[in-house]
Structure formats: structure tokens, C-alpha cells
Amino acid sequence: MIHKNTLNKLLMCVGMVLSLFVRVGPVFADGPSFQSVGSKGVSVQNNGLKGGYYNLILKVNDAEDIVTFQLSELMLVNDCSFNFGLTKWTRPSQEKNEFAINIKENGTYAFYIIANGKVKGYLRFKIKGFEKNAVGGGGVTQYWGKMAEYYELPSEHVNPDDFRDKDEKNDAICTNEKIPDDKPHGSGDVEEPKEDDKGNGNNNNGGSNKDLQDIKDKLNEISDKIPPVPDWDKVAETFADKISPKLTKDIKDMLGEAPDPPKPPPQIPKTDNKGLDNRQPEFKDNPDLEKAKFTKDDIKDGAPEIKFEEDKSGGFDIKDPMDNLPDLPDEMPKPGETTPSEWGKNKPKEPEPQEKPVPKDKEKPKDPPKPKPDEI
């Protein structure tokens, strides 16, 4: 019988082993998602995921007097504040009142549509659910004063540390206890669509309330059909009390009973040392050693003196081999301009040129015999 605690530990070990071989990526119930946190003067068509990108199409609501839109900008910003830009993509002017946005990475973004030198409409939003987070351009631009007013952001110069995203992941999640995640600093209000714009098939900032309610009802319906989380203690008890005994019996019937574990080999008997462990060598005293009284001074004082004999041959001198080399000439020899000196006396002679043997002309091959007329 397997106890419940033992079974729980076993299941945990199995899960840890499986985690080494199974790659589990981020799981999202509905895949990538879009969240608007601020908007003005635009209608949003949310097309969801298309071709691996999250697709949005923006239109300026009040665009009757606009002939050309000067430019539009997509900006990746700090997850906690729209006043801190990380990367900006600028599009050239266009006449069509339709602005497509395609996003494939998590992050907090702002899209600005500019006409006649002013922001005509904007959308500030978050994209979540992709495997990768957006990467900034390496620097941070703080918008304050006139530049903040241009983008319709708070104009005061704030301390960046107060609005810092502490994890700095650009995952569209603000990690700062002072700032709510669903309302980053500078996001503004979400503008409600006008009555004329309702029911046009858009959702979020330009969609029908009925469509939104239908979506909520469907989500609630799906949520109600999801089973509750299992009671793992109850699962462990059922496994230990019912499944484990039956599984043990089936394995025993199929494979037979496991043999007894092998017994350890007998210990090697100790070698009989015949009592040598407790015996010590004995040394007999030699009375002659006491009489000898031999010390190291006897070696030092009693050694014979080595006689020194002078070398009458005069010895020999070791000379520096560099002194035997001839002196260098004042000017180094130049090929073809100087005569051989001591440095060139022993130069090996160059071999004399020899005539190459000329092959003899071979005999001209004979023409083959011509056939006779009667042989043709």
C-alpha cells in the first residue's frame, strides 16, 4: 500500500522529470490580446490575429476637412508611462483615412495621427500574449514641456525613477506598485464612440455595445463549462487506495513476483598474523659502542689533508669567440659594384651554364600505300 504523502512526492518527481524534456511555452486562453488604455478622435477596427500579426485599423472620426494627413507615428513606450518613449516608427504623408497597425511582439504602444501640425487622433494600447517581448532602440526619450503637449501628454518634468518599469521586460505589464497596470501614466481617457459611429462593426473604441455584451456572454458561457481545479488530495487518496493496489496486482500477474534482493557476499576472513601486532623489535646493547666514543669531530679533525699542487703549465684562457670575427667594413658590399672582400672569399662558386642537349630530328613518317584501282 502506497501512502498519500509518498504518492504526492512521487507525482512531483514525475512532473519534474517531464519538465526536463517537455518545453512549455507561455499559454494564453485566447492567444494574443489587445487592450486600449487611452484614445481620442479615432475609430478602431480590431481584426485580431492575422498572419502572425495583431492587426488594427484606425480611422480619424472628424476628417472631412483634411486633404492630406501629414504623418503618423507608432511608438513603443515604457510599460508604466507614455511620457518615456523607447522606439518610434514614422510613416510618410497619405491621403487615405485608414491606418493599419501590425504588431507581433508584446509591449505598450501609442499611435499618433498628425494633420496640419497637430495630433488629430491617437490610440494608446497594450498587446499581450505573444512569445516575444518588444525590444527598445537602446535609449529612452522623456517627453515633457512643449513636446509632451504636442503628443497631448502630461507636460511636467517628472523623476524617471517614479515611473520606472522595474522588470524592464516590455511585456505590456507595468511592474510598479505606484502605478495601476490598466492605466499607465499619461494614457488619458478612452473616448467613447459617437452615436453615428456605433454599430459599425468595430470593437473596443468604436464598436457596438451589443457586440461587446455578446462577447462577454460567450466568454462567461465558456468559463462556466471549464471544469473546476481537481482536489489533488482526493486524487492522491484515490490513487493510493484504489488505483495503486490494482496496478500492483496487474504488474505482478503479468511479470511475476520480484525476486528477493541478493545477499551481500561474506566478509573475507582476517589473516592470522600469529600475534605480531603486539610485538616490537628488540635491540641488544653493545658495550663496545660506549667505549668507542666516536663523534663527528673525529671525522672533521681526523681527515687527511689534501695537498694543493700548483699548475706549472700556466693554464689556459677562455676567449670570447666574437673577438675572432673580422671587423665589419665601413660600407656594406653592393651586388655588382664591389670586389669580393673577406666576407666573400669563401663564397661557393656558381655552376657554369651548360648547353642543353638538342634532340635530333626524327625521320619523317612514310606515307601509307595507296590502294590499286582494282582494289577500290
Amino acid 376: pLDDT: 56
pLDDT attached to residue 203? 45
How far is it, in rounded angstroms, from Cα 83 to Cα 216? 33
* Residue 187 to residue 149: CA distance in whole angstroms: 13
User: What is the mean pLDDT for each group of 10 consecutive residues in the chain (376 residues)?
Assistant: 51 49 42 93 94 95 91 96 95 95 96 94 96 89 94 93 91 93 93 60 50 83 82 86 87 86 88 80 78 76 81 80 81 71 66 78 72 68
User: Residue 51 CB: number of other CB atoms within 10 A?
Assistant: 7
Residues in CB range of 129: below 8 A, 6 or more apart: 26, 28, 30, 31, 32, 33, 106
For every residue of 65-81, DSSP letters joined together read T-S-B-EEEEEEEETTE
Global pTM reads 0.48
Length of the chain as a residue count: 376
Q: What is the pLDDT of residue 346?
A: 64
CA dist., res. 80 & res. 124, Å (int): 12
Buried b (16+ CB within 10 A) or exposed e, 20-49: eeeeeeeeeeeebbbebbbbbbbbbbbbeb
Is 240 within 8 Å of 7 (Cβ atoms)? yes
Other Cβ atoms less than 10 A from the Cβ of 321: the count is 7
pLDDT at position 242: 86
Question: What is the 8-class DSSP label of residue 83?
Answer: E
> With helix as H, strand as E and coil as C, how does 240-290 read?
HHHHHHHHHHHHHHHHCCCCCCCCCCCCCCCCCCCCHHHCCCCCCCCHHHH
Q: Are 172 and 78 in contact (CB under 8 A)?
A: no
Question: CA gyration radius for the chain?
Answer: 50
Q: How far from the centroid of its chain's Cα atoms is residue 60's Cα?
A: 42
CA distance 295 to 288: 14
Q: How far apart are CA 302 and CA 78, in angstroms?
A: 98
**Residue ranges per domain, the chain?**
33-199
**Biggest alpha carbon–alpha carbon distance for the chain:** 140
What is the model's pLDDT at position 319? 83
* C-alpha–C-alpha distance, residues 20 and 26, integer Å: 16
Kindly list the distances between the CA atom of residue 192 and the CA atoms of 106, 124, 205, 261, 366, in Å, as whole numbers in the listed order.
Answer: 25, 14, 6, 77, 111
Structure confidence at residue 29 (pLDDT): 45
Antiparallel, parallel or unpaired: β 81-91 and 33-40? unpaired
Q: Contact 69/113 with Cβ under 8 angstroms?
A: yes
Give the integer Cα–Cα distance in Å for 185 and 163.
8
For 75, residues 6+ apart whose C-beta sits below 8 A from its C-beta are 85, 87, 88, 89, 109, 110, 111, 112
- Facing residues of 91 across strands? 72
pLDDT for res 298? 78
